[in-house]
Amino acid sequence: MDDPAEDGFRTLDPVSKKAMYVGNALTMAAFAVFAAVSLHFSQGTAWFLPSAAMVVFAVVLAFYLFLSPPVFYRHYRYRMDDDCIEVRSGVVIRSHVLVPVERVHQVAVNKGPILRKFGLAQVTVTTAGGTATLEYLDEPVAEYIAANLNEKI
């Protein structure tokens, strides 16, 4: 595992930005195809204006999807010790999730095709009150965290 900052929080591996860009590009491609097909088939109908608005939204979405990976990367931190797991993320809407280890019921390591391509995984921690997810972790780090938590539950 990488060395934590002075406050004990760890950052993501820089390769996580590449995985985010690939996922965002696939999302954008699907939405752009849908918007273009919608615009093409709606010409001359009452649906043309909503379809044109969808194309404008696609441009705004592309801008957001291009900017979001470095921002997410810069503001995502996690910390795990013997007592709890903490995840901090967000810029405008900040999220601080604190999960006591003693409340953990289940730990799952998830590796979708994009995450696998980049050697990443996510750890989902389930409690009676909900779930917490540690995203874009190096695969060995994710396995270590899951094994460590499974020993404690």
Whether residues 19 and 63 share a domain: the answer is: yes
Residues 23 and 81 grouped into a single domain = no
Query: Do 107 and 121 have their domain in common?
Result: yes
Domain count, the chain: 2
Which ranges of the chain does DSSP label H, i.e. alpha helix? 15-41, 48-75, 113-117, 139-152
Co-location of 122 and 69 in the same domain: no
Q: Please indicate, yes or no, whether residues 57 and 120 belong to a single structural domain of this protein.
A: no
In this predicted structure, the answer to whether residue 62 has a pLDDT above a threshold of 90 is yes
- Residue 153's H or E segment, with its range, is none
Q: Rounded to whole angstroms, how far apart are CA atoms 56 and 41?
A: 17
What is the average pLDDT value for the chain, to the nearest integer? 92
The amino acid present at 108, given as its one-letter code, is A
Same domain, 30 and 89: no
Residues 81 and 68 in one domain: no
Full domain range(s) for residue 129: 77-152
Supply the Cα-derived Rg of the chain in whole angstroms: 19
* Residue pair 78/16 in contact by the 8 Å Cβ criterion: no
Whether 1 shows a pLDDT value over 60: the answer reads no
* 1 found inside a domain: no
In this structure, are 96 and 57 located in the same domain?
no
Residue 8: band (very low, low, confident or very high) from pLDDT cuts 50, 70, 90: confident
Q: Is 101 helix (H, G, I), strand (E, B) or coil?
A: helix
Predicted local confidence at residue 7, as pLDDT: 83
Does residue 93 share a domain with residue 51?
Answer: no
Share of the chain above pLDDT 70, in %: 97
**CATH (domain of 124):** 2.30.29.30
Query: How do strand 120-127 and strand 84-89 relate by DSSP bridges?
Result: unpaired
pLDDT tens string 87-142: 999 989 999 999 999 999 999 999 999 999 999 999 999 998 888 999 999 999 99
Q: Is 20 exposed, middle or buried (0-12, 13-18, 19+ CB in 10 A)?
A: buried
86 neighbors 79 (Cβ within 8 angstroms): yes
Distance in angstroms (rounded) separating the CA atoms of residues 62 and 141: 31
Q: In the predicted model, is pLDDT for residue 153 greater than 80?
A: no
Q: Tell which of 40, 73, 106 closes a domain.
A: 73
